[in-house]
């Protein structure tokens, strides 16, 4: 009987064990089941599998090794959804995911990818795995060996077809470890080019083992050549490929310069030739050599020519190493604006026009010349040093400025010209010098100054071609002279510019009679002006009248102020007036001007008086620029 009871208990226990403790469905383990009465122990098994799924203890350099942890509970059943932690020497291996934490699947298996930490990682190590099942902590250590990483480069892709000059193209290469793309092990690949730029030059492979970058044929030296591209990484044989870069295409012609921008009529003293420069470039502005360019005049003036004097036909030239073509433009006989067009021979839609080149004036002519003085009278008769400016203004027969560089000569009867020659500059068509008082003065204090410059004789342009033609009338001018005594006649001893000529003529402006040459041509354009070297002391004269009108007494003082030679006092001398009335009559006098104006002649003005009676005195004073005081009194009659 006791034996039967014991046997029954064993049967019941066996049934309960088979049913998972008596709760839930048969053969099913759930989280809500009744506590197990099993007496077994949870287990943790760790292994590694290679890319083919075979068991291994070697971590592949290709990064295709899987570490597996298999968990079973105390009943020997798969423990699903359990957190498993993997860890190892970070100098040897890296894990994916990097946290090293994975949940078991329905089969109780947690898997993680194991790869070398670097291509140089070697030796052996331990993979540590921990988990907790049913309150029981489990830990396993798995020893592994690092396998050697055979790095290689595969399939360098440099694209197909030629690349436009200065163009860009993506390039790439596959990095492999032990023959398989380095999917989990980053590899740095360095690219290089025999010409141009690879940017970035060093690239790390992506998750497919691919390293990609961009090549740029950014140098003019690359155009029209085959460029070699290479990819390399330590431990691998470099790969190379070739890209054919197209020759550059001329896309633009640029006007660079015209030197000088202003030229003068043929025969002028100024420059009559300008050098024009154009430049052939490609789409990015790089100069192109050996490009054929045709140059022609857009608009022409009589006589304007290209490259050689007299040529008006288009000229074809080839660009040099700097992409430049250069040609000369020669002036003609008429002031005008000139443009030159440069056209690419291979493509006439590529062209450029020069900026406007001006063919300006010619030589000065007599009718356009004048000589001006800043001060007509300076305090120079008794004193050395006072100065005045002389300005010579010129123009050609069309009223245009004469060329810069035209030189004007000056000669003076007395004093000194500083300098003796002035030069036209800055397009002003005028220049100036100073005369300084010194040396022997003329007795009358009047100093004549002659300015003269090479020019041409005026003529009547009957056919409007701006060129003198035989038979057209002209002004034949005699040799220039300085008329020191202002009698409009050349007298012996007066300065004369020595030139040949003996033809009978009147001489014209400051021209010696009978010194003409009878033909139209060059002549000394001349102008004369006189300046007064005034005395410091003044001569003051005048007459005073006084009239009684009703109860008022009105009067006037007509006063004349001159220097001691009968010329104007120095320009800017001051005039003063003083009334002296012994009888306190209330006499007043009004002075119209208190300054000697810019003139060569004596200065006259009328002083108005009022309430002046017999015996009242009016005093006129004159003070020169250097301080000499002169005075003269006038008594009311």
Which tens digit of pLDDT belongs to each residue from 466-488? 778 898 898 888 899 999 999 98
Task: Determine which of 531-545, 553-567, 582-596 has the lowest per-residue pLDDT on average.
Answer: 582-596
In terms of average pLDDT, the best of 101-105, 294-298, 305-309 is 101-105
**How does residue 11 score in pLDDT terms, banded at 50, 70 and 90?**
very low
**Is the pLDDT reported for residue 334 higher than 80?**
no
State both tokens at 481: 């002279």
| Count of residues in the chain | 637
User: Given this model, what pLDDT does residue 32 score?
Assistant: 36
Mean pLDDT along residues 423-437:
95
pLDDT bin (cut points 50, 70, 90) of residue 542 is: very high
How much is the pLDDT for 359?
76
CA–CA separation, 514 vs 501, rounded Å?
8
CA distances from 91 to 56, 117, 121, 125, 581 (A): 21, 6, 7, 10, 123
Per-residue pLDDT band at 439 (split at 50, 70, 90): very high
d(CA 246, CA 608): 97
* Residue 430, number of CB atoms within 10 A of its CB: 18
Residue 235 or 149, more confident: 235
| Residue 35, pLDDT above cutoff 60 | no
Residue for token pair 């300065």? 495
* pLDDT value at residue 361: 65
Domains and CATH numbers, the chain: 43-146 (2.60.40.10), 151-244 (2.60.40.10), 252-359 (2.60.40.10), 363-533 (2.60.40.10), 538-635 (2.60.40)
Mean pLDDT of 7-12: 43
Rg, the chain, Cα only: 56
Contact 156, 198 (CB under 8 A): no
CB burial string 89-115: b at 16+ within 10 A, e below: eeebbbbeeeebebebeeebbbbbbbb
State the pLDDT at residue 625. 97
Average pLDDT over residues 518-547: 92
State the average pLDDT for the chain. Answer: 87
User: Do 227 and 236 meet the contact criterion of CB atoms below 8 Å apart?
Assistant: no
Place of tokens 């009943």: 75
Q: What percent of the chain shows pLDDT beyond 70?
A: 91
499 vs 387 pLDDT, higher one = 387
Residue carrying structure tokens 């002035």 = 422
Residue 63: pLDDT band by 50, 70, 90 thresholds?
low
Residue 288, pLDDT > 90, answer no
Q: Please provide residue 493's backbone torsions phi and psi, each rounded to the nearest 5 degrees.
A: 100, -15
Range with the poorest average pLDDT among 8-17, 257-266, 318-327, 332-341: 8-17
User: pLDDT-based confidence at 269, cuts 50/70/90?
Assistant: low
* Predicted pLDDT of residue 626: 97
Measured between alpha carbons, how far is 38 from 411 in angstroms, rounded to an integer? 138
pLDDT: which is higher, 502 or 469: 469
Task: Give the global pTM.
Answer: 0.56
Q: How far, in Å, are 211, 231, 236, 364 from residue 242 at the CA level?
A: 18, 12, 20, 69
The whole-number pLDDT of residue 582 equals 75
Query: How much is the average pLDDT of 207-214?
Result: 93
Ranking 48-62, 374-388, 528-542, 572-586 by mean pLDDT, the lowest is 48-62
Q: What's the pLDDT band for 302 if we cut at 50, 70, 90?
A: low
- DSSP code, position 570: P
> How far is the C-alpha of 137 from the C-alpha of 508, rounded, in Å?
132
Q: Is the pLDDT of residue 37 over 90?
A: no
Query: What are 221's two structure tokens?
Result: 């030296």
Banded pLDDT at 73 (limits 50, 70, 90): very high
Phi-psi category of 192—alpha, beta or left, where left has phi over 0 and alpha has psi -120 to 50? Answer: beta
- 615: exposed, middle or buried (C-beta count within 10 Å: 0-12, 13-18, 19+)? middle
- What pLDDT is stored for residue 522 in this prediction? 83
pLDDT over threshold 90, residue 283: no
């Amino acid at each position: 009987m006791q034996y039967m009871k014991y046997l029954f208990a064993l049967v019941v226990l066996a049934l309960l064990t088979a049913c998972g403790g008596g709760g839930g469905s048969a053969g099913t383990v759930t989280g809500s089941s009744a506590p197990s009465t099993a007496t077994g122990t949870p287990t943790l098994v760790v292994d590694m599998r290679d890319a083919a799924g075979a068991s291994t203890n070697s971590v592949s350099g290709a990064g295709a090794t899987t570490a597996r942890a298999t968990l079973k509970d105390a009943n020997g059943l798969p423990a699903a959804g359990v957190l498993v932690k993997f860890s190892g020497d970070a100098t040897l291996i890296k894990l994916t995911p990097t946290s090293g934490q994975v949940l078991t699947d329905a089969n109780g298996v947690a898997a993680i990818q194991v790869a070398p930490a670097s291509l140089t990682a070697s030796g052996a190590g331990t993979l540590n795995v921990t988990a907790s099942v049913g309150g029981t902590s489990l830990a396993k250590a798995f020893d592994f060996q690092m396998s050697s990483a055979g790095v290689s480069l595969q399939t360098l892709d440099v694209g197909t077809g030629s690349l436009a000059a200065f163009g860009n193209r993506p390039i790439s290469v596959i990095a492999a470890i032990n023959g398989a793309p380095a999917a989990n092990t980053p590899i740095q690949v360095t690219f290089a080019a025999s010409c141009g730029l690879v940017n970035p030059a060093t690239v790390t492979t992506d998750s497919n083992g691919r390293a990609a970058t961009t090549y740029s044929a950014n140098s003019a030296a690359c155009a029209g050549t085959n460029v070699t591209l290479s990819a390399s990484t330590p431990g691998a044989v470099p790969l190379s490929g070739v890209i054919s870069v197209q020759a550059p295409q001329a896309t633009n012609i640029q006007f660079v310069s015209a030197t000088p921008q202003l030229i003068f009529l043929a025969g002028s003293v100024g420059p009559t030739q300008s050098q024009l420069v154009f430049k052939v470039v490609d789409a990015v502005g790089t100069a192109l050599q050996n490009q054929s360019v045709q140059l022609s005049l857009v608009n022409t003036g009589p006589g304007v020519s290209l490259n050689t004097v007299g040529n008006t036909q288009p000229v074809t030239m080839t660009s040099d190493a700097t992409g430049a073509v250069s040609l000369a433009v020669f002036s003609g006989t008429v002031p005008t604006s000139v443009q030159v067009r440069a056209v690419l021979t291979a493509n006439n839609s590529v062209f450029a026009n020069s900026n406007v080149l001006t063919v300006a004036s010619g030589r000065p002519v007599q009718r356009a010349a004048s000589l001006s003085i800043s001060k007509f009278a300076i305090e120079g008769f008794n004193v050395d040093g006072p100065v005045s400016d002389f300005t010579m203004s010129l123009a050609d027969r069309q009223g245009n400025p004469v060329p810069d560089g035209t030189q004007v000569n000056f000669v003076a009867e007395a004093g000194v010209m500083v300098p003796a020659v002035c030069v036209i500059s800055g397009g002003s068509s005028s220049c100036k010098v100073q005369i300084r008082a010194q040396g022997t003065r003329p007795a009358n204090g009047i100093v004549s100054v002659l300015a003269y410059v090479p020019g041409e004789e005026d003529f009547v342009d009957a056919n409007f071609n701006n060129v003198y033609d035989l038979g057209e009338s002209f002004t034949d001018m005699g040799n220039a002279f300085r008329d020191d005594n202002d009698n409009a006649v050349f007298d012996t001893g007066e300065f004369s510019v020595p030139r040949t000529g003996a033809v009978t003529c009147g001489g014209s402006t400051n021209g010696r009679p009978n010194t003409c040459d009878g033909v139209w041509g060059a002549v000394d354009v001349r102008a004369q002006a006189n300046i007064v070297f005034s005395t410091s002391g003044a001569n003051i004269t005048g007459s005073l009248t006084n009239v009684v009108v009703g109860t008022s007494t009105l009067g006037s003082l007509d006063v004349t102020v001159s220097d001691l030679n009968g010329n104007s006092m120095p320009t800017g001398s001051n005039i003063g007036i003083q009334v002296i009335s012994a009888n306190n009559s209330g006499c007043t006098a009004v002075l119209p001007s208190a300054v000697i104006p810019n003139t060569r002649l004596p200065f006259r003005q009328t002083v108005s008086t009022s309430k002046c009676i017999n015996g009242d005195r009016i005093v006129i004073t004159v003070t020169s620029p250097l301080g000499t005081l002169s005075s003269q009194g006038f008594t009311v009659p």
